[in-house]
A and B are shown apart, each in its own frame.
Chain A
């Protein structure tokens, strides 16, 4: 369709000035938007209040559709469980038998571990969960991988707390509102997680790729020591994530590390647990002594 001939408004001065004004407003508005962008690039946590407000407004709708989505998923799983129920039952029985001895060994190890910890007088800060919620939406059209959680500061959720699902680590809290919180997923390029190989404790770092995978880079240089199928868990270094949270499974070896897929899939995670920061007290004490450490922790 041809545009209406508003570009040549005739002899009317008023119309001419009006047309001119729209262009002036457009250019000025673009400049203002550019200025806002510069501010938000310089201080990424700025405008968090606006984003939180948006999340709070849309949260009821997201919760509603998420419950529908979950119900249909559950119904599908329940129905598919009826097929091949007999063969699955046999396989599970065999597996349970095999696991029983391992379980007893693990119990013995746990007792021994607790005894050794008692000898060393280590304070155990593990398994302190703050609240349990659900992931209700994510920034599906942006290159940033940020998800919205259905619980917020009214449930005790605070910034920089780790979030995990039943299968593994999901991410950490970056912004909180009264009933929602925003979570930086482990697959975001911004999210660095200190990890180790579960079998031998080989220390490494994980960075998100933004496409659902993470890159695992070992701390010591040289040829990549990883093998396909290696299980990666968090190492607890840095004091944010607790050690031994299941993290990812290596799917391809690269020159200087490995490509891995996170074990927790935010879309299929039935719930998300917000946990206290591992060694949060030690971290707080350290930041009270060194203020520059604090500024680094605030900049996301």
Chain B
């Protein structure tokens, strides 16, 4: 929108006053860096001082990946679960390769679901995410149990509930990031 001449204000970026207002390209760096760094930073959240006696913190990296994948299909390639998962393995404390395998399997599962149920609403996405979260957390416990002595699966219950309930919040964050990503 063109500002009327009478409006008195200091332009923050004088250059933009004379730029074309339409047909502008988004910054490629921003378009790529925001989804990637948001998933990686979400994976790093476990490094913050949450000293909890039981697994309670949701796997935010996985939630963020799911949110990007379900909200913007086609943005992340099918194979992106592997690199994101391996980064998460560095911080999660699970055996290395655990999330690499499981997240990739989750991405392939969503790819199959995409070819069956093409038009979905948020509730259906939430359902898909919930089932995947349950599967990933249980499989993670099983894999940790192969390498080390494992805890009882009941300890995962609070984490599963919390992760499912926090998924819509992560989608909101993801949507905000997406509108920032696509802003010119």
Interface residues of A (CB under 8 A from B): 1-4, 6-7, 22-23, 25-27, 29-30, 32-41, 44, 46-47, 50-51, 53-55, 58-59, 61-62, 65-66, 69, 135-148, 187-190, 207-212, 265-267, 300
Contacts and interface: CB of A to CB of B under 8 A. Distances in A.
Given A1-B72, A66-B49, A209-B155, A141 B100 contact: no
A38 B95 CA distance: 9
13 contacts: A1-B72, A1-B73, A29-B104, A30-B82, A37-B101, A41-B147, A58-B44, A140-B52, A140-B57, A141-B58, A142-B93, A143-B144, A144-B94
Interface stretch (B5-13, B21-29, B31-39, B113-121): B113-121
Most buried by A among B59, B82, B140: B82
A29 to B, nearest CB: 3
B2 interface: no
Given A30-B105, A37-B96, A6 B74 contact: yes
Contacts of B64: none
A138 B148 contact: no
Please tell me the size bucket of the interface on B: 35 or more
B51 A142 contact: no
Contacts of A50: 90, 96
Contacts of B54: 210-212
Q: Summarize B's interface: helix, strand, loop or mixed.
A: helix
A138 B79 contact: no
A33 B159 CA distance: 25
Interface string B79-108: 101110110001111111110110011011
A138 B50 contact: yes
Interface in B116-166: 118-119, 140-141, 143-144, 146-152, 154-156, 159
Contacts of A136: 49
A159 B47 CA distance: 21
Nearest to B114: A3
B111 to A, nearest CB: 8
A65 B49 contact: yes
A267 B53 contact: yes
B114 A210 contact: no
Most buried by B among A29, A36, A50: A29
Contacts of A265: 53
Contacts of A148: 47
A142 B92 contact: yes
Contacts of A190: 148-149
Contacts of B100: 29-30, 32-33, 36-37
A3 B113 CA distance: 11
A55 B47 contact: yes
Contact of A34 (B46, B97, B108, B151): B97
B115 A137 contact: no
A252 to B, nearest CB: 15
B69 to A, nearest CB: 10
Contacts of B74: 3-4, 6
B158 to A, nearest CB: 9
B70 to A, nearest CB: 9
Given A3-B73, A61-B48, A210 B96 contact: no
A187 to B, nearest CB: 6
